[in-house]
Amino acid sequence: MNALGFGAGFRLNRRGKVPPVFDFTGGALPPGASLTRASAGTRCDASGALVSESADVARFDYDPLSHALKGLLIEPAATNAALASQDWTQPSWTASNVTPAATTLTENTASAVHRMQLPSGNRVLTSGVPVTMSAIAAELPGSARRWFGMTLGTMGFAAQPSATFDLASGTVPQVANGSAGCAAAPGGWLCWLSAVPNASVATAAERYFVSNAGGVPMPSYAGDGVSGLTVSEVQFEAGAVPTSRVRSGASAGARAADVLTLDWGAKGIPDGAITVRFSFDDGSTQDVAATVSGGLASVPANLIRPWLTRAERV
C-alpha cells in the first residue's frame, strides 16, 4: 500500500471506504480544518526554539530535544498573572541576595536565602481551584549551582507548597504540599509547582530560589558571588498543569483559546450527533461526542492532551 502513496495511516472501514479523518501529523492544517485564536501564542519550532505565532496561526509544536513534531497545539484560554515574565530586572520583582539580569539570577555572598519574589498582587486564589507556577530554568556554564527552588506563599494554603528541581538531570528531588514536574523545554527545563488552595484570597506571593541543595526548597547558605541560574518565561496560572508560555509585561499576559473547526460535511458526514476519536502525541485517544451543524463541528480546547495528531469519526 505504501508504494501506491496511501501512507502508513491508511485503512478501510467495514464498507471498504476510507473513514472520515483529519490528520495533523504533516505540520500543516489538512483540507477542511480551520483554526482561529484571538491572540498570539507560543510554541516550540522545528529547531527547538520558543517562538510566538500571530493570532489565528496554527501552532504545530515540536519536541525541544528530538525536534520531532508532537502535533497541533490546542489549548483553552489562559492568563499569566506573573508580571514581567521575561525580565527579572523590572520593578514588579523583589530581589533578596541575588543580582538579577533579564534572564539570569546570580547569588551574592550573604549567608541567607537567595531568591526573587513577586509580592502579593493580582494573583487571586479561589478555594478548591488549582494554580500552577512555572518557569524555564537551566544551569549557567561554570556555575556551582544546579538546584532551583519554588514556593508559593502561605496565604490560602493549609501548608506552604514547595518544590526543588535538579537542573543537571531534569528531576524533582523535593516536593511538599502540592505536585511538581520537570520536562525538557526550549533553553532548559520547564519546572512547575501546582497546588490547591483551601481558602480564597485576593493576593498570592510566588518565590524562585537559587539553591545549593536538592532536598530543601529555600536553604540559607553562604553564596559565592558568581554562581547562579538561567530562569525565564515565568508563569502563574489557574489549572493543575502548566500551559504554553504566555508572555507578560507590566500587566498580566493572556492567550485566547484555540478554536479548531472541522468540515465533516465535506467528508460526507450529515448534520447531527457523531462521536469523534481524537489521537494525541503519546498514542492515547479520547472519544468525544460532537454535533455537526452546517457541516461543521468545533474541537473542544480542553481535551486530555493539547497535542492533537488525528481526528476521526467512529
Give residues with Cβ within 8 angstroms of 58, minimum separation 6. 28, 29, 35, 72
Give the cell for residue 192: 512547575
Q: String of b and e for 193-222 (b: at least 16 CB within 10 Å)?
A: bbbbbeeebeebbbbbbbbbebebbbbebe
Distance CA 132, CA 43 (A): 19
Nearest Cα neighbor of 288 from 301, 269, 274, 272 is 274
List the strands of the sheet with 162-166, edge to edge.
94-96, 114-118, 206-211, 147-152, 162-166, 171-176
Pairing outcome for strands 171-176 and 179-185: unpaired
Predicted local distance difference test score (pLDDT) of residue 53: 99
Distance CA 170, CA 189 (A): 7
The set of long-range contacts for 140-145, using a CB threshold of 8 Å and a minimum separation of 24, is: 140/104, 140/227, 140/228, 140/229, 140/230, 143/226, 143/227, 143/228, 143/229, 144/212, 144/224, 144/227, 145/107, 145/210, 145/211, 145/212, 145/227, 145/228, 145/229
Q: String of b and e for 90-106 (b: at least 16 CB within 10 Å)?
A: eebbeeebbbbeebbbb
CATH 2.60.120 describes domain 79-255: yes
- Position 1, amino acid: M
Per-residue pLDDT of the chain (314 residues; tens, 9 = 90+): 333 333 444 444 444 465 799 999 999 999 999 999 999 999 999 999 999 999 999 999 999 999 999 999 999 999 999 999 999 999 999 999 999 999 999 999 999 999 999 876 667 899 999 999 999 999 999 999 999 999 998 889 999 999 999 999 999 999 999 999 999 999 999 999 999 999 998 878 899 999 999 988 889 999 999 999 999 999 999 999 999 999 999 999 999 999 999 999 999 999 999 999 999 999 999 999 999 999 999 999 999 999 999 999 99
Predicted local distance difference test score (pLDDT) of residue 4: 37
Distance CA 114, CA 116 (A): 7
Distance CA 158, CA 175 (A): 15
What ranges do the domains of the chain cover?
21-77+258-313, 79-255
The set of long-range contacts for 49-56, using a CB threshold of 8 Å and a minimum separation of 24, is: 49/186, 50/136, 50/185, 50/186, 50/187, 50/233, 50/245, 52/247, 55/256
Other CB atoms within 10 Å distance of the CB of residue 129: 13
SS3 209: strand
Predicted local distance difference test score (pLDDT) of residue 13: 47
The 3 state secondary structure assigned to 116-145 is EEECCCCCCECCCCCEEEEEEEEECCCCCC
